[in-house]
Structure 1
C-alpha cells in the first residue's frame, strides 16, 4: 500500500472513529447514571436514528475509500486476484441487513424493537470489522508480495532462466562450508563466449540474446545438475563442480564443456559455430571466500581468452598478467592520442612473374616502455573495448597516405591491402568513410584492397549490400583466412569479391601429403571457377612455392620473401627485389 492509499484509509478510519465517539457521547449524555428519565425503548430509537444518519455517512466514506484503493491497486497490478471484491460485497450486504432491520422496527413492543436494533448494531459492527480487516490484509499481502519480488527477482536470470550471479554466491558459500566439513574440494568453472561482442555488433542484439539462450540451453541439457549452472551476466556463465576426487576431474569437465560447441548452433534457419574460453578455480587452494574464488576463476578465464577456445586453471602469476592487461588497455587510449602506432608492410608476390604487385599493411604499437608490440598483443583488447574503430580508421588513412607517397616518389603503383575488423564492417556509412579517406589522400581507389573475413558474411544480405557499396567505390575486396570459417559456399558466388586468401594454417603442412594439400587444391580450383584470384599466406620454403605454382595460385606472401618491413626501409627493399626478380 503506497502513501496515497494509507492517507485515504486513515481519513476514512478517522471519520468512522469520530462517528463512534459522537454516538458514545450522545448516549452517555442522554442516559442518566441512575437509569431513570429515559427508557430503554427511547434510547434504542435514538441509537437507531443515529445509526441511520451518521452510520450511513461513515459507510459511504469507508466503502468509497476501499473501492478506490482496490481499483488503484488492481490497475497497477499490485492485487493479482480480485479477492477484495467479494469482501466489499459481503460488507455491503451486512450494512443493507442492518438498515433493513432498523426500518422494520415498529415501536409496538419494546423487547422486540430492542432485539431488532441490537441485531442491526451487530450486523453493522460485523461489516465494519470485516471491512477494516480486509484493508489490513490488502496492505499485508502487498507488502509480502513486494518483499518476495525484491527477494526473488535477482535470483533468476530473466533472459535464460538460469540462476543468477547472486544465487551462485549464496550457493557457493554453502557448498564451501560443506566441502570444508567433508574435506572434499570443489571447482568453480567460468565460461565466456569468444568474440561475443563482435558477434553482437555484427548480427544485432536480438540475435545475441537468442544465442545466449541457445548456449544456456545446451549447457543445461548436458551437465549432471542443471541447478548448478548460472549466468553471471553478459555472455559469461558458471558451473559448480562438487565433491571432486581430483582437480583433473574438473579439467576434464572443462574439456567436455568446450566440446559441447563443436557442433554448430542453429538459429533462424542458419548454423553458427562458436567457441568458449574456460577458467577454473578450486576451493580451498585458490580461495577460501566467495569473492576471491570467483575473482580467480575470472582471471583464469581471461588468460584462456588470449588464445581463445581453451581452458586454464588459476595460477597466482595470472593475477599479474591480468593487471598488465588492464594497464595495457589504459595505455592504448594514450597511444591513439599520441600516435604511437606504426605500420609494417608485407609484400604480395605474383608467382608467375616474381614481381611485387601489392603489400599488406600490418599495424604495430611502439610502446614507450615495452617496445614494439605485435598486433596479437593489443588488437583483441581494442575489439573488446571499441578502440578498434578509431584504430582501424587510422590504419586506413596511414596506409593510403603511404601508398600515395610511394607513387609520388616514382615507384610503380601497387595495391595496398588493409584488413577491416568486424566492427568496421558493420560501421554506419562505411563506404562514405572510405571514400572520404581516398579523397583526402588522393589515392586512386583501384590501388586499395580491403580484406574481410568469412565471419563478417554471416548476415548474408547485409554483407552483400555493404560489399556492393564498397565495390561501387572502385576498390578491390578479398576474403582473408579463407577456409577457417564456416560461410556457405552457396553464398560465395553472390558476394562481389575479387580474391580468396588461403589461410597460413593450410600452407604450413602443404607438402606433408595430408589433407591440407587437398584443401588448397580445392580452394584454388573453386576460386578459378568463380573467376576469383588466389593468394596463399605464410609461404616459407621452395616446396610450398612449387606446389602453389603448379596449382596456378596467382599470389603469395610470407617469410620466404621477407618479413613485414617498416615504411622507411620498404622502398629500398622493393628496388633491390625488382632488380633481382
Structure 2
C-alpha cells in the first residue's frame, strides 16, 4: 500500500493481541502505524486525543472494575466512541461467534465482527479494506446530507443535530453559548449587478471570512440563500458575543475581493443566548431569527440580541393576524363614514369610508391596530377590494333611500395601489353595480407614489376611468413637490398633525398656510383633516381652504347614522366649491 494506515488495537490479552499485530504487519508492512492499549480507560483517553483510521476492539476484558460511562466491553467502548463524534470504522474481535453479539454489533454501528481463532492476515486485511471503503462512502453521503454543497459549511439539518448535542453538554457543564443568525444585506443586488456565478463566489468567500472570524469550536451553517447561522460556544458573556459580531461586521466592511471586484456589503445580525433566552434548540433558532428581523429594520451593520418583551409583542401580533383572518371570514369588518364638508357652510360634499373591526370579545378595534398588520400580508389587498365593493353597495342603498349622489372616498394602501389589480377591481365594481365612476374617490398616501413610473401608469388608468385621486396626510411622508406637478391629483388633504395645533404653534400655522397656498396655486381641492374647534376652522377659512373633516362637523358613523346626520345638514347648502376634476 502506498499510504500508511494508523490503527488503534485495544485489548488486554497480550498473546492474542501480539498475534493480531503480526497479521497487521503481514498485511501492511512498513505502512502500518499501530498503537496498542491494554486498558479501557486509557483507550478512552487515547481516542479523545488522537486520530486513527480504524479501531480494533477486543470484546471481552478480564478487568472487573466499573469504568466511567459504564465502559466494560469492546462494544461499550465502540458505543462511547460513536456518541463522542469523529469515530472511524470499528472492527470487534471476539472469542466466539454468538448471535447476541452479532445483533449488538449492528445496534452499536460496528463495521465488522471477527472471531479470533478463525483470523489470519488475509481475512483481517479484507475486513479492514471493506470497512474503510464503506466508511468513505458513508462520509460522502453524510457530506451530501449534512453539508451545504456550495460553501461546504454545515446545513440546517446538521446545525440542528450539533445544537442538540451542544445543549446536552452545556446542561451538564453549566455552559454558555450563543446562536447567531446573520444576513447579507441587499445580496440580491450582487446577483443582479454581477451575475449569479459572482454571487456564488461571494457566498463562498463569505463562508471563509466567517470561518476566520470564529473560533475552532464554533459551528457555522448556511441556512438559505444569503443567511448564515453561527453557534459560538467558546464565549463567556454577552460582551464576548458582541465583540464577535463586531469582528464579523468589520471584516465585511473592508470589502470582499472577488476576481477584479471589491464588494462592500453590510450585515444584519440577530443573537439568542443559552441559557438566559432558552434551553430549547428550536426556540433558540427561532429567537435568533426574531432578533435578526429586528436588526433588519435598522440601518445596515446592525446587531440585536433577542428581547423577551419584543417577542411577546410579535407573538401578540401573530395572534392578532390570525384573529383578523377569522374576522374577515366571519364578516366582522364594516365601513364607517365621516363627512367632508364645505368649510364655510358645513354642507357635506363627500364622505370618507373608514374600516372598523367589530371584534366579538374586544369590541370595536381601532384601525391603527389592525391596518398595519394587514399591510404585512395580502390581507390589505383583500380588504381594500372589499372596501371598494362595500362602498359601491352603500352608495347604491343611499340613492335608493332618497339621498343625492354623495361620492365616497376609499383608502387604498400603497401595496394595493401598485398590485396591478386595482383598476380591474374598480371597473368590475362599477359594472356590477351599474354606477358612474364619479361615485368613487381613491385616497392614497404619499408612499404610493415612491415608484413614480408605476404610480403614473396607475393614475393615468384611473383618470381614464373617471376616478378622482386624493392624497392623504400630505406633509408627513415623502412630500416631493415633483409628484404634485407630474401626477394628475384632484385633492390634497392636510394632515391633522398640523391642523391640531393651529393658532398654538407658529410653525404649524406657517406649514398649513404654505400647503393651502401651494394647493390653490396648483388648482387642487384642499381638505383639512382633524378640525375640532371653531378657531381652527376660522384659521382655515381665512387662508381660503376649501373643505374640512373632523369632529367639529361629524365623527365617523355607521351608514344609517349618516343618513340621519345628512338630513340635519342638507339645508346648509350655499356657494359650494366643486371638487377639482
Please point out which of 474, 483, 486 is paired with 1:491. Answer: 483
SS in structure 2 opposite 1:385?
Answer: coil
| Separation in structure 1 between the aligned mates of residue 502 and residue 303 of structure 2, nearest angstrom | 29
Native 8 Å contact 2:180 2:269 kept in 1: no
**1:451-488, Cα deviation, whole Å (9 max, x unpaired):** 11222222222211211111111121111222233264
- Superposition deviation, residue 416 in structure 1: 0.4
Aligned to 2:147, what secondary structure does the other structure show? Answer: helix
Change (3 A) 1:473 1:580: closer
Aligned residue number for residue 428 of structure 1:
420
Match of 1:354 in 2: 346
Q: Deviations over 1:203-231 (max 9, x none)?
A: xx979x99xx9xx99xx9xxx99969999
Counterpart-to-counterpart distance in 1, 2:353 and 2:404: 17
CA distance in 2, matches of 1:311, 1:347: 47
1:404 corresponds to:
396
Give 1:335 deviation, angstroms. 3.1
Alignment partner of 1:415 is 2:407 = yes
Superposition deviation, residue 188 in structure 1: 5.9
Paired position in structure 1 for 2:468: 476
When residues 473 and 170 of structure 1 are mapped into structure 2, their CA distance, relative to the original with a 3 A threshold, is same
- Deviates further, 416-425 or 183-192: 183-192
Specify which of 348, 355, 372 is matched with residue 380 of structure 1. 372
Cα 1:147/1:170, change in 2 over 3 Å: closer
Q: Which residue in the other structure is 1:390 paired with?
A: 382
Answer yes or no: is 1:151 the counterpart of 2:143: no
Please state if 1:296 is matched with 2:287. yes
Between 1:278-287 and 1:413-422, the stretch displaced more is 278-287
Residues 511-526 of structure 1 correspond to what in structure 2 (within 5 A)?
511-513=503-505, 515-526=507-518
In 2, are the aligned partners of 1:536 and 1:557 still within 8 Å (CA)? yes
d(CA) in 2 for partners of 1:278, 1:577: 58
For 1:489 and 1:297, how far apart are their aligned partners in 2? 42
- Looking at structure 1, the residues matched to 299 and 549 of structure 2 have their Cα atoms a distance apart, in angstroms, of 26
Alpha-carbon separation, structure 2, partners of 1:468 and 1:562 = 33
* Pairwise CA RMSD: 5.5
SS at match of 2:404: coil
In structure 2, relative to structure 1, the CA distance for the partners of 1:245 and 1:328 (3 Å cut) is closer
Instruction: State how 1:92-107 maps to structure 2 within 5 Å.
Output: none
2:449 corresponding residue in structure 1: 457
| 1:495 CA drift (Å) | 0.7
Q: Secondary structure at the match of 2:375?
A: helix
Matched with 1:566 is 558
Q: TM-score, normalised by structure 2?
A: 0.54
Matched, 1:505 2:516: no
The change in CA–CA distance for 1:553 and 1:317 in structure 2 (over 3 A counts) is same
Query: Measured at CA, do residues 348 and 289 of structure 1 come closer, stay the same or move farther in structure 2, by a change above 3 Å?
Result: same
Q: Which range moved further: 501-510 or 296-305?
A: 296-305
**Shift of residue 345, structure 1, vs aligned partner:** 1.0
CA contact (8 A) 1:482 1:503 kept: yes
Deviates more, 1:361-370 or 1:315-324: 315-324
Write the mapping of 1:9-20 to structure 2, written as runs, cut at 5 A.
none
- Superimposed CA distance per residue, residues 246-268 of structure 1 (whole angstroms, 9 cap, x where no aligned partner): 79x99xx9xx9xxxxxxxxxxxx
Match of 1:62 in 2: none
What's the counterpart of residue 365 of structure 1? 357
CA distance in 1, matches of 2:277, 2:423: 50
Looking at CA atoms only, which structure, 1 or 2, has the larger radius of gyration? 1
Q: Unpaired runs of 5+ in structure 2?
A: 1-135, 215-219, 250-266, 574-581
CA displacement at 1:155 relative to structure 2: 5.3
Question: Deviation of residue 449 (structure 1)?
Answer: 0.4
Q: 1:189 touches 1:240 (CA, 8 Å); kept in 2?
A: no
Higher helix share: 1
Structure 2 counterparts to residues 14-413 of structure 1, below 5 A: 147=143, 151-153=147-149, 284-288=275-279, 291-298=282-289, 316=308, 321-413=313-405
The DSSP-based 3-state class of the residue aligned with 1:339 is coil
Give me the whole-angstrom Cα distance separating, in 2, the residues matched to 1:339 and 1:305. Answer: 35
- How far apart are residue 342 of structure 1 and its match? 0.7
Of stretches 353-362 and 335-344 in structure 1, the one that deviates more from structure 2 is 335-344
CA contact (8 A) 1:187 1:244 kept: no
Q: Take 1:468 and 1:300, find their aligned partners in 2: how far apart are those partners?
A: 42
Tell me the number of residue pairs that the alignment of Structure 1 and Structure 2 aligns: 398
Q: Is the 8 A contact 1:413 1:447 kept in 2?
A: yes
CA contact (8 A) 1:500 1:527 kept: yes
CA deviation string 1:154-207 (max 9, x = no partner): 6599xxxxx9989998999999999x99999979688999xx9xxx9xxxx979
User: Does structure 1 retain, via aligned residues, the 8 Å contact 2:147–2:155?
Assistant: no
Tell which deviates more after alignment, 328-337 or 146-155: 146-155
Tell me if the contact between 2:146 and 2:155 (Cα under 8 Å) persists in the aligned partners. no
Give the superposition deviation at 1:400.
1.5
Instruction: Specify the SS of the correspondent of 1:378.
Output: helix
Q: Evaluate the alpha carbon distance shift between residue 145 and residue 546 of structure 1 in structure 2; reply closer, same or farther with a 3 A threshold.
A: farther
- Alpha-carbon distance in 2 for matches of 1:414, 1:433: 21
Give the conservation status (yes or no) of the 8 Å contact 1:349–1:555. yes
The structural deviation recorded for 1:356 is 1.4
* C-alpha contact (below 8 Å) 2:270/2:291 kept by paired residues: yes
**CA pair 475-291 structure 1, distance change in 2 beyond 3 A:** same
- Is the 8 Å Cα contact of residues 491 and 526 (structure 2) preserved in structure 1? yes
- Alignment partners' CA distance in 1, 2:524 and 2:151: 54
Q: Is the 8 A contact 1:186 1:244 kept in 2?
A: no
Shift of 1:371: 2.6
Tell me what 1:267 maps to: none
Q: What's the secondary structure of 2:339's corresponding residue?
A: strand
